[in-house]
A = this chain, B = another copy of it.
């Protein structure tokens, strides 16, 4: 396999660094993909570590970069932020046969599908954990110090990526994650299609299930808004609390009164997450 070329499709100066978008051919997903990256000023004189950010349902690589206000502190800390898209895309990539927003395009759930017709393209876990970092670390001034975070479906993705890949990330956090996907309507719909009806396969992609046998116990920082309309049915942070307590997995779960599921919530607490990640990424 030859290394894919990163084609720059946008670049804006931002807090002394660069906000960029790249398109490339993904061998894993068998389609063209676009991702966004914020390169802090420190990347002009050396390689920097990166926080990978996984967005939620319906989002693209741009929502976080537009709305989270993360670049300010990332520039100060010297940490890059990489935001992949939320699914494979393109006319030849199958989506939701019913055209819904919670499956298919924009809803890859950061897993590797095993069922047709999705298995050909929907391998977002492999893409996010392996193909994308390899491309970036070969072609951008970013090194292999990695951390991962995300929101909602992307919060689930961040927890699962870290839990399935011991040693690959130095830190992990999440905003309003789907904590127990196999027990949520969003997760059940997606997993039944991407993974088939056998629930044993589902457990390999569920944060609460993975906690029990985790090969490393990276401390989890999780923020959740108490006024989040998806809290009880879809997100269920208490399930994560129970799963962590059962095995002594370190968890800092902060529930914030009156905050909702929006990017206004994320923006309000992103600095705490950036500092959490930077402490691990920049440790000697």
Q: Does A263 contact B (CB under 8 A)?
A: yes
Q: Which of A64-72, A91-99, A148-156 contacts B (4 or more CB under 8 A)?
A: A64-72
In the assembled complex, the CB of A176 is this many whole angstroms from the nearest CB of chain B, namely 13
Q: Which of A238-284 contact B (CB under 8 A)?
A: 256, 258-260, 262-265, 267-268, 271
Please tell me if the beta carbons of A66 and B263 are within 8 angstroms of each other in the complex. yes
List B contacts of A258 (CB < 8 A).
13
For the complex, would chain A's binding face be called helix, strand, loop or mixed by DSSP majority?
mixed
Q: How far is the CB of A92 from chain B (nearest CB, A)?
A: 32
Nearest CB to that of A262 among chain B residues?
A: B12
* B263 and A13 contacting across the interface, CB-CB below 8 Å: no
Query: What's the nearest-Cβ distance from chain B to residue A72, in Å?
Result: 6
A15 CA / B225 CA spacing, docked (Å): 12
Q: How many copies does the complex hold?
A: 2
Contact partner of A66 (CB less than 8 A), chosen from B13, B66, B72, B271, is B66
Given contacts A66-B66, A72-B69, contact A13 B260 (CB under 8 A): yes
- A37 CB → nearest B CB, Å: 13
Q: Which residues of chain B are near A28, meaning CB under 8 Å?
A: none
Complex: A262 Cα to B15 Cα, angstroms: 12
Q: Does A77 contact B (CB under 8 A)?
A: no
Q: Which of A225, A263, A268 has the most CB of B within 10 A?
A: A268
Cα-based distance from A12 to B228 in the complex (angstroms):
10
Is B264 touching A19 in the complex (CB atoms < 8 A)? Answer: yes
Enumerate chain B residues within 8 angstroms of A19, measured Cβ to Cβ.
264
